[in-house]
Chain A
Amino acid sequence: MVGPVVTVLTDPDDSPACLTAVMACHALQRGVVVCLPHPGTGSRPQLGAALLVALGKLPTARPVQRPSYRSWELAGCWLAAEPITDLVVLRADRLPAACWGDLALLAAAAGTRLWLVDAGSAAADGQRAALAAASGGRAPLVRPWRAGLAALAPAAAVATGQRDDHDGFPAVPDVEFPQFRATARRVLSAAAFARVDAVYRGTFAQARTRAEGLRLSLLSDISRAELADAVLQQLTIDATSTAEVLTRVRAAQAGLLAEGLFLDVRPRSCRTWGAATVRLEPRLDPSTVARLRGLCDPTTAAAVVLTRATGLPASRLCRLRPGDLTEHRRGLHVRLSSMLSYRVPARAAGLVRAVLARPSFLPPGDTSGPSNTDAVAVPGRLFTRPDGAPLDDRALARLRHTGATHAGVVLPAASFRNTTVTDLHPLARSGS
């Protein structure tokens, strides 16, 4: 693996074009963060606050109402937790030499490439020396700013494609799963159907692979509603629109039926028009994740994201341990028991991952660098107070309510709470 590289981009003319072009490269979803420190920034807390703003944190959200001693540690925590590949600092020539060294250490700890845009005639010797000292004596690369922009440009093209991919999932027919794909093919245009069908077939295949595990889980004492909710959560949490959720639900039903399982999203006991039994709204779509990214406190962000992802009550979330979170294809698996697990999509995984590296228990005077999970004792519970004491369910409920209010999102209950799953195999054998 190639280590992080520090590059100084020179802009001797201090041109507005450079500022505009580099700012346009800012895109959190593809891992490029552009930071523009306030004039007069000269300390770690101030630089940390600027980095937090660049990372999408809301300055008004607690605890970053003002530059505090925690800003720097929090910036390091979020930089390591989020999939950031490039950190660009504009007007870096206005920062003191110590900040250059701190930034190099921070980027190295997070595994991020650092780009320092030097708008002066030349970087001062002290700044270069601090950078070299922090980089183990290696001199930074020095390139014109346009060359650096060219290095970031391919990623920009990819990001545009991703944005288009998330926009405008076609409206789909609201019909039962045995008719869904054929009806969609009839009533959608060829391009729209191709997009819907790609999602349908992918989810169909995933559902088939999960069927055997789900059948075994049906023999346990876990309620069928919980099992069905967990399976549907895992299959639909990547959806970005209501239509996509519906497509994934229908594909999951069809895939499970192919394996002899019937997933009933409207059981007979709940078939009243008044009862909203299934919520088809996407739970962690990009706009919601962008709002949640404004939360600065890792514990609060993780509590709100896990609630949005799973719909679990606080009494169950507060019992989670760090070992219950496991990495899975850039996302996270949240394991409640051996047979019950939920999933956090890749786009929101960083918001939960930060709680594992949170600096809340570092002493105020310890500002030697970003937090390191190896250096601290892993607490027994995932959600703890700053002093390490576990949060009880009432405190966690209050915390996530506060976080949701700050982020401007709601905390809905589980989407598929009233679904149920039935094994058709024994019935089919006994009937034939």
Chain B
Amino acid sequence: MTDRPRRPARRLVIDWALVEQRRVAAGMTHTELADRVGAGAVTGPARLWTDNDHDTVALGLLERLCQVLDLHPTELFRAPTRNAQRRHQLAHAEPADVAVLAAALATVTCPPGRAPAAVSSARLADALGWPLARIGDALAALDAQLADTGLRIDHDPAATSPPPVRGLHARDRHLTDTQRAALHRLHNPEPSLDVEIARLLYAIAHDPRSITERHLAYDPAAVVALQQRGLVRRHTGGSYLELTEDAHYSLAADPAPPAP
């Protein structure tokens, strides 16, 4: 009996960037995440973020992380290299805009276990990385395509109920990973800006480097709300909050566009 050749151990890499993204999308602070998942999810990241060495992560922690952040276990790990190469090859055959839009609407309007939420065409365009005009053309084409099927897309931006788009199926490989992640973030409709959020935004813009996530004068929910919108972020290498390039570009009316 011969020994079978030992296959090299495949190293699974946890996608902590996705975890952080989902935390912000879910509107949770680090403290809230620690309360629900465990201290390891918060005290660990400083060590886990780098993830260069082979750290051991408790399976229970990953399980709770998936439950709390609505992640499938396969989403928690980065795709193996071979899969990434395969997707790269498939990406060369670009699907039609109508198919991508149908897949996007199916992803946005049918989150598991939740009521469908309305999404504006601007947020959809931003998630897909398309110009607004391209969304308009694709919507018109999809409307025409769906005319015979009885499905209808509600374009009314002030509709009193969410658009009842059902029956669309997200076919595989029509959306990139980036698009899918951005579409998942659209599940949570953004609440309108209120005075508390505006007050914090003004404080960060007016007095940079003085506001941290744990500033006692500001509601932690306002911090998360601004992070969810992508308006503020924690400065890399520092603990204070700063405006993102997008927010600075909009709020300062600076002629110079932000760096891509």
Contact = CB atoms under 8 A, between A and B. Distances in A.
Interface of A: 170-183, 185-189, 192, 200-201, 204-205, 251, 254-255, 257-258, 260, 262, 264, 266, 268, 271, 273-274, 276, 422, 424, 427-428, 431-432
Given A187-B125, A431-B203, A201 B253 contact: yes
B120 interface: yes
B253 A189 contact: no
**Which of A170, A181, A187, A192 counts the most B-chain CB atoms under 10 A from its CB?**
A187
Contacts of B253: 181, 200-201, 204-205, 251, 254-255, 258
A179 B217 contact: no
A186 B126 contact: yes
Contacts of A268: 194
A183 B201 contact: no
Given A183-B126, A258-B252, A432-B210, A171 B202 contact: no
B203 A266 contact: no
14 contacts: A175-B123, A179-B246, A179-B247, A179-B250, A182-B246, A185-B249, A185-B257, A186-B125, A189-B133, A251-B253, A258-B251, A271-B192, A424-B195, A431-B203
A235 to B, nearest CB: 14
B203 A432 contact: yes
B192 to A, nearest CB: 5
Contact of A177 (B122, B126, B250): B250
Given A175-B122, A182-B246, A182-B247, A266 B131 contact: no
Contacts of B218: 431
B154 to A, nearest CB: 13
Given A182-B250, A182-B258, A273-B160, 9 more contacts: A172-B132, A173-B122, A174-B121, A186-B125, A186-B129, A188-B133, A257-B202, A260-B202, A276-B158
Contacts of A424: 195, 198-199, 202
Nearest to A420: B195
B130 interface: yes
A264 B249 contact: no
Nearest to B159: A273
A264 B187 CA distance: 24
For the complex of A and B, 5 pairs with smallest distance between CB atoms: A173-B122, A431-B217, A182-B246, A181-B250, A262-B198
Residue of A181, A182, A185 most packed against chain B (CB within 10 A): A182
Contacts of A205: 253
A178 B229 CA distance: 9
Contacts of A200: 253
Interface string B135-172: 11000000000000000000001111000000000000
B247 A171 contact: no
Given A187-B131, A432-B203, A257 B251 contact: yes
B136 A171 contact: yes
Contact of A178 (B129, B160, B195, B201): B201
B250 A432 contact: no
Contacts of A178: 193, 201, 229, 231, 247, 250-251
Contacts of A273: 158-160
Which applies to chain A's interface (DSSP): helix, strand, loop or mixed?
helix
Nearest to A177: B250
Contacts of B237: none
Measured as residues with beta carbon below 8 angstroms from the partner, the interface class of chain B is 35 or more
A262 B231 contact: no
Interface string B187-225: 000101111001101110111001000000110000000
B205 to A, nearest CB: 7
B255 interface: yes
B230 interface: yes
Interface of B: 120-123, 125-126, 129-133, 135-136, 157-160, 190, 192-195, 198-199, 201-203, 205-207, 210, 217-218, 229-231, 245-247, 249-253, 255, 257-258
A419 B130 CA distance: 32
Given A176-B229, A188-B131, A431-B217, A262 B195 contact: yes
**Residue of A254, A268, A431 with most partner-chain B CB within 10 A:** A431
A255 B250 CA distance: 10
Nearest to A208: B253
Contacts of A174: 120-122, 157
Contacts of B201: 178, 257
Nearest to B132: A187
Contacts of B122: 172-175, 183, 187
A180 B132 CA distance: 13
B202 A187 contact: no
B192 A266 contact: yes
Contacts of B231: 178-179
A230 to B, nearest CB: 20
Contacts of B245: 182
Contact of A431 (B192, B199, B249, B258): B199
Contacts of A271: 192
A251 B251 CA distance: 9
A183 B129 CA distance: 10
A255 B251 CA distance: 7
Contacts of A254: 250-251, 253
Most buried by A among B131, B198, B257: B198
A4 to B, nearest CB: 43
Contacts of B207: 428, 432
Given A200-B253, A276-B158, A258 B205 contact: yes
A182 B249 contact: yes
B250 A187 contact: no
B125 A173 contact: yes
Interface-central residue, B132, B135, B246, B253, by most chain A CB under 10 Å: B253
Nearest to A263: B198
Contacts of B157: 174
Contacts of A172: 122, 132
Contacts of A180: 250
Nearest to A205: B253
